[in-house]
Amino acid sequence: MSNQRDVHVLVLDTLADWEPGFAIAHINRPAPGVPSPYRVRTVGLDGSAVRTVGGVTILPDLSLDELRPADSSLLILPGADFWAEPKTDPALAKAREFVDAGVPIAAICGATLGLARAGLLDDRKHTSNDPGFLQSSGYRGGAHYLNEPAVEDRGVITASSMAPLEFARVILARLKVFSPAALDAWYGLYTTREPSYYYALMEALGSGGQA
């Protein structure tokens, strides 16, 4: 039996492919030849296949009603076109269930609007695409908005659609996929493309850089 822990990603029609990409790829496989303590599983509103904005068809591993916080290490909520609509209310109820159980959630782009609708950002530091974007939800958390690429506060991670790398960095840190030294090298590699960071990453991984 595998001792991997599950990380779940909600998949909706029009899911923005790029937003969870860095995070889920490195959660599932931190680096070539480096095993992960986690596996990524997809969750749908129901069992139906969805089609991403990039035209990729995804058949969810499980449906929302099968998902329990006790079985998850983190729930990722990518952007999609429907977060302002009631059809996502069951996903927002599940997100609140996770938060209440002390299991972290991570939302990016349109999913932050969903969290605002659900009241989960009213008293937490957070970010999104723009303050005005969230104001359209009618939420009361404007004073806690930070103009940062990604923010974490009490188990709720939020990020702008333009910050998938920073989103991933906060998630990977939270899950301890990499040691701090390895994570710094990983982020440096993707932000600068300097080969020196690749060698630093390999060195950190070779010296126990993965939790």
Give ∠ CA 128-26-151 in degrees, rounded to 5.
25
**Segment 150-207, tens digit of pLDDT:** 999 999 999 999 999 999 999 999 999 999 999 999 999 999 999 999 999 999 998 7
Instruction: State the chain's mean pLDDT as an integer.
Output: 96
208 pLDDT above the threshold of 80: no
**pLDDT tens, 113-161?**
999 999 999 999 999 999 999 999 999 999 999 999 999 999 999 999 9
Report yes or no on whether pTM surpasses 0.85.
yes
Inform me whether the pLDDT recorded for 14 exceeds 90: yes
DSSP secondary structure letters along 167-206 = HHHHHHHHHTSS-HHHHHHHHHHHHH--HHHHHHHHHHHH
The set of catalytic residues is 109
pLDDT at 211 over 60: no
| Interval 42-61 mean pLDDT | 97
Instruction: Give residue 102's pLDDT.
Output: 98
pLDDT, residue 112, reads 98
Using pLDDT thresholds of 50, 70 and 90, give the confidence band for residue 1: very low
CA distances from 80 to 20, 39, 71 (A): 12, 23, 25
| Percent of the chain residues past pLDDT 90, beyond the cut | 93
User: Domains (ranges, CATH) in the chain?
Assistant: 5-177 (3.40.50.880), 178-211 (no CATH)
